[in-house]
Each structure stands twice: as structure tokens, then as C-alpha cells.
Amino acid sequence: DRLVTSLTTGGEVTSSSLFNVFDEAALDNFAGLGEYREQFLKAGAQEVYLSGSGPALFTLMKDKIRAERIYFNLWRQGLESYLIETLAGMEGVA
């Protein structure tokens, strides 16, 4: 409930609000997922999250310029990436 409220009101989304029970299983079952997570971090992400049961990864950024920088860093590495904006205006990179 706190996550939904934060997203719909433009409030703070904390890393404790975002968790995925499939995180460890996905790392074990999708070859290279851990390496992609590391590339995401090296590109500038502070936190990297698993979407659904995987293998998609994403991060959330409040700063559009920083989100664009992460997106382009991933793109330069040849990784398929998307820059999106949530309805509440928080930038995301997937």
C-alpha cells in the first residue's frame, strides 16, 4: 500500500519498498543476469531491481539527466535499454 501511495502521489520510493521474491532464483536460472546487474551499476545506477520473474532489470531515478546518462551508458555497451517516465514523474531505466 505504501508503494502505491508513493507512486501515485509523487512521494519517495525507497529500496525497502521494492523487493522481489524471485531475485535469487532469477540469478541462478538466467545466465549472465548478475553480469547485467553489474553493468547497470557501473552505468551509474545506485539500485537495480528485477522486474517480475525476470530477466528484466530496472532502476528508478528522480533526476532525468542522470537517468538519461545511465540509459546512454547501457546503450553504448550494446545493451537493450529503455528510458521511461512513471505517471508520477520519476524516471526509470529498464
Q: Report the pLDDT value the prediction gives residue 37, as an integer from 0 to 100.
A: 94
- Cα separation, 84 vs 91, whole angstroms: 6
What is the pLDDT, as a whole number, of residue 65? 95
∠ CA 7-3-54 to the nearest 5 degrees? 95
The pTM (predicted TM-score) of the whole model is 0.75
pLDDT along the chain (94 residues), means of 10: 75 73 87 94 94 86 92 95 77 61
Contact 36, 44 (CB under 8 A): no
Q: What angle do CA 24, 2, 37 make, to 5 degrees?
A: 30
Task: Locate the domains of the chain by residue range.
Answer: 2-93
